[in-house]
């Protein structure tokens, strides 16, 4: 299966940004681990701090499933939500932290309703859980 993992704003800083919340492993290192753990899956990765670039990537349609961590766009990007709604493939939203234990504004996901499921609060392992559930 060809799986697109797509991350939103500031997730390029994983391993450096607030390690007490997001951990100390970079996304590049974690992707290497995922590729070893799931050798039969083709994992595509894309990250951008720009909403429109994320939408453009999602519309490329060169994948069979999506794992998305929209970052801050989770809470207000109806454009990403609309884009996800129009992708007729499995979609899983992943959050490294438990968004329901954080600030009030983080407890609402406008993108989750356009995905089949949400994984929140398992750290980086959320990406692994998402891939396992897609298999």
Phi-psi region of 32 (alpha: psi -120 to 50; beta: other; left: phi over 0): alpha
Is residue 70 within 8 A of residue 10, CB to CB? The reply is: no
Catalytic residue (one of 30, 46, 78, 95) = 95
78 assigned to active site:
no
Which positions make up the binding site for substrate? 69, 75, 82, 96-97, 106
Instruction: Point out which residues pair with 92 in neighbouring strands.
Output: 67, 117
Burial of 67 (C-beta count, 10 Å sphere; 0-12/13-18/19+): buried
Which positions make up the binding site? 69, 75, 82, 96-97, 106
Its sign, for the CA torsion 111, 116, 121, 127, is negative
Is residue 97 within 8 A of residue 21, CB to CB? The reply is: yes
- Of the CA atoms within 13 Å of residue 33, those in its CB half-sphere come to 10
Active site residues: 22, 95
């Amino acid at each position: 299966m060809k799986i697109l993992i797509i991350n939103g704003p500031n997730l390029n800083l994983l391993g450096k940004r607030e390690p007490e919340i997001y951990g100390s492993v970079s996304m590049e290192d974690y992707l290497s681990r995922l590729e070893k753990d799931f050798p039969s899956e083709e994992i595509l990765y894309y990250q951008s701090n720009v909403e429109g670039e994320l939408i453009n990537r999602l519309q490329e349609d060169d994948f069979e499933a999506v794992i998305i961590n929209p970052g801050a766009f989770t809470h207000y990007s109806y454009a990403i939500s609309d884009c996800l709604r129009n992708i007729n493939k499995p979609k899983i939203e992943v959050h490294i932290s438990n968004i329901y234990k954080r600030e009030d504004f983080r407890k609402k996901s406008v993108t989750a309703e356009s995905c089949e499921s949400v994984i929140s609060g398992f750290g980086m392992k959320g990406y692994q859980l998402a891939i396992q559930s897609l298999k």
